[in-house]
Amino acid sequence: MKFAIFSDIHGNIFALEECFKYIHEMDIDAIIWCGDYITDIPKSHEVIEFIKNTMKKYQSYMVRGNREEYILDYHHSKKTDWNMENRNGPLLCAYHELSKEDIVFLSNLPESLVIEVPEGSKMFVSHKWKDDEGNDCTYKIFGHSHKQHVFTKDNIKYINPGSVGVAIGANAGAEFSVLQINQNFHKIENYTVRYDTNEPIKSIKESQLNETEVKWGNGLIKLLQTGIDYPNLYIKEVLKIANEKGLEKDLDTIPMEIWKEARKRIKIE
């Protein structure tokens, strides 16, 4: 069997569509989806619709990621502390993009699953790397880090396909992997697909992402342009400044003046 493996789309429908131009030519038998389909690039609903449509053609195995967990927790707990003027504004933007059907779809996704391959191998799939589950499997497949890598540990082959939507690295594009398994043979190939990042950047600029005081969209735009993890640098700089000023390192209570100063320091104003 031949599996295409995708993770960390983060709302970037443009990158996902570009990947599938390749997938349709690869004789893929099934698709493994490793979570974080939504938030960040403001096309979360479109990504879910796209995935649903691919399920009509390909056998699909899906787990939820931490971004789905954030949104579902907000939805089911009826929280009221998210608003457009704090750091949860970008998550709230994504939540407002989703339909009731999208929420139900995400709610039905498991946190992890095991795929039994007819050739005798088993694959454990999760969003984050788990040491305490799936250790009787031949493969452990996960995402979350936004970096492609393959390695072997304790006779288990670990596969991270990288990120479709917001990959990190000097040559970042839309990333995915293909795993081919036969009775006495396996092959893993990593792919990086170039696409027009001006499209997701335009969608960010036209969205509410930068209407929040946090201006999360600025960091995302720089990430798409450079492959450097500016959103993470942004958070680190906020915490650093808070520490310098003797404040608690609680992102929910750090004043917006510090977020503004952090953007100035790392040049994402």
* pLDDT tens sequence across 199-235: 999 999 999 888 888 999 999 999 999 999 999 999 9
CATH architecture of the region 2-193: 4-Layer Sandwich (3.60)
Nearest to 10 by CA among 267, 266, 231: 231
The DSSP symbol for 207 reads: S
Note the pTM of the prediction, 2 decimals.
Answer: 0.95
Written as six digits, the tokens of 22 are 């390749």
How far apart are the C-alpha atoms of 248 and 262, rounded to whole Å? 16
| Average pLDDT of the chain, as a whole number | 94
Cβ contact 265:237 at 8 Å: yes
**Sheet with 185-193: strands ordered across:** 59-62, 30-33, 2-6, 174-182, 185-193
Helix, strand, coil percent values for the chain (each to nearest 5): 35, 20, 45
CA separation (Å) from 202 to 59, 136, 148, 199? 33, 45, 26, 5
Which residue(s) pair with 5 in the sheet?
A: 32, 177
Nearest to 7 by CA among 66, 79, 80, 72: 66
Tell me the domain boundaries of the chain.
2-193, 211-265
Average pLDDT, consecutive stretches of 10 residues, N- to C-terminus, the chain (269 residues):
97 98 94 98 98 97 97 86 79 94 98 90 95 93 96 95 94 93 88 96 93 90 95 96 93 91 95
Which of 179-213 are b and which e, b meaning 16 or more Cβ less than 10 Å from the residue's Cβ?
Answer: bbbeeeeeebebbebebebebbbebbeebbbbebb
How far apart are the C-alpha atoms of 224 and 42, rounded to whole Å? 14
* pLDDT tens sequence across 58-70: 999 999 999 999 9
